[in-house]
Chain A
Amino acid sequence: MVKPTEEAVVTQQEPLRKLAEVRDLNFYYGRTQALKNINMPIYEKKVTALIGPSGCGKTTLLRCFNRMHDLYPGNRYEGQILLGVDQPRNLLEMDPIEVRMQIGMVFQKPNPFPKSIYENIAYGLRVRGIKDRALLDEVVERSLRNAALWDEVKDRLKEPGTSLSGGQQQRLCIARALATDPEIILFDEPTSALDPIATVSIENLIVELKEQVTILIVTHNLQQAIRVSQFTAFMYLGELVEYNDTMSIFTKPVEQKTADYVSGRFG
Chain B
Amino acid sequence: MAQDSFSVKTNLPLTLPSRTVRIWRERVIAGVLFLAAISSVLTTLVIVYILFSETVIFFEKVMEVDRVSLWEALVEFFTGTDWSPLIEPLGIGILPLLAGTLTTCFVGLCVAVPLGTIAAIYLSEFAPAKVREILKPILEILAGVPTVVYGYFALLVITPVLQKIILGVQKFLLPGRNEWDYFQLPGFNMLGAGIAVGLMVLPYVCSLVEDALQAVPLELREGSYAMGATRIQTALNVLIPAAISGIAAAYILGFSRAVGETMIVAVAAGLQPKFTFNPFEAAATTTAFIVSVSLGDLPHGSFEYQSIFAAGIMLFFATLFMNVLGYFLSRRYREVY
Which residues in A have some Cβ–Cβ distance to B below 8 Å?
Answer: 66, 68, 71, 73, 97-98, 100-101, 104-105, 107-109, 111, 113-115, 123-124, 126-128, 162, 173, 176-177, 180
Contacts and interface: CB of A to CB of B under 8 A. Distances in A.
Interface stretch (B69-77, B220-228, B297-305): B220-228
Interface string B325-337: 0000000000110
A109 B219 contact: yes
A127 B226 contact: no
Given A113-B223, A162-B336, A124 B237 contact: no
Contacts of B237: 113, 115, 123, 126-127
A180 B335 contact: no
A180 B227 CA distance: 8
Contacts of B226: 66, 68, 100, 104-105, 107, 177
Interface of B: 128-129, 217, 219-220, 222-230, 233, 237-238, 241-242, 244, 335-336
A98 B242 CA distance: 25
A162 B223 CA distance: 14
A123 B227 contact: yes
**Most chain A C-beta atoms within 10 Å of own C-beta, residue among B129, B223, B238:** B223
A114 B241 contact: yes
B220 A113 contact: yes
B227 A71 contact: no
Given A128-B228, A162-B335, A173-B223, 13 more contacts: A73-B128, A97-B228, A97-B230, A98-B228, A107-B222, A108-B219, A114-B220, A123-B229, A124-B227, A127-B229, A127-B233, A127-B237, A177-B227
Contacts of B233: 127
B220 A100 contact: no
Contacts of B128: 73
A126 B229 CA distance: 9
A176 B222 contact: no
Given A73-B129, A107-B222, A173-B223, A101 B228 contact: yes
B123 to A, nearest CB: 16
A77 B25 CA distance: 64
A71 B219 contact: no
